[in-house]
Structure 1
Amino acid sequence: MGERRGRRCDPMRHVVRAEYRYDAPDEVKTWHMVRERRNGEIGHVAMCGRRLREDAETRPGTEWGRTDEVFCHSCGALYLREVPSQPLGA
């Protein structure tokens, strides 16, 4: 848990969401990071601002960097600023 202005705040939750090549759901072009909303819903606008399909595949945020397809560099930079550092493989 983090501290902000003297009060506790919950860590932000993140989800990896697919961007498809040619809108084909079987061919992932790039993975993006999406913030989970406070109500538990998963958004469809990536941290880089790209709008993704609402029905696009999602994976836990811990999958960041662990797939064969590339990840959005901008999402990665923003994500790394929001999550506490953890050893690789954790």
Structure 2
Amino acid sequence: MRHHIVAEQLPDGVTLKEWHMVRGEEQQSMCGRDVAEGAAELPDDAWGTDSAHPFCHTCGALYLREVP
């Protein structure tokens, strides 16, 4: 299964709230939040780096349980 990271913006549409992990082509993040169409994305190997900070705690915990 391929994962990717998607940005969640604050209501102003500019400010990053946090990054979420998404499984494959699903329309929700692993924590259950809906993924906004056209949101910024990063590859899953950016998890744990400064470029994917701040990261959703729930998505991170679930991702660690799925990826060796």
Counterpart AA for 1:80: L
**% identity of equivalent residues:** 51
TM-score, normalisation: structure 2: 0.86
Residue 52 of structure 1 deviates from its aligned partner by 2.1
TM-score, normalisation: structure 1: 0.67
Q: Identify which of 18, 32, 40 aligns with 1:49.
A: 32
Aligned length: 67
Poorly superposed stretches of 4+, deviation over 6 Å: none
Greater helix fraction, Structure 1 or Structure 2: 2
Residue 68 of structure 1 deviates from its aligned partner by 6.1
Runs (5+) with no aligned partner, structure 1: 1-11, 37-41, 85-90
Q: Could you tell me how far apart the structure 2 residues matched to 1:32 and 1:65 are?
A: 12
Runs (5+) with no aligned partner, structure 2: none
Whether the 8 Å CA contact 1:19–1:56 is kept in 2: the answer is yes
Higher relative contact order (CA 8 A, sep 6+): 2
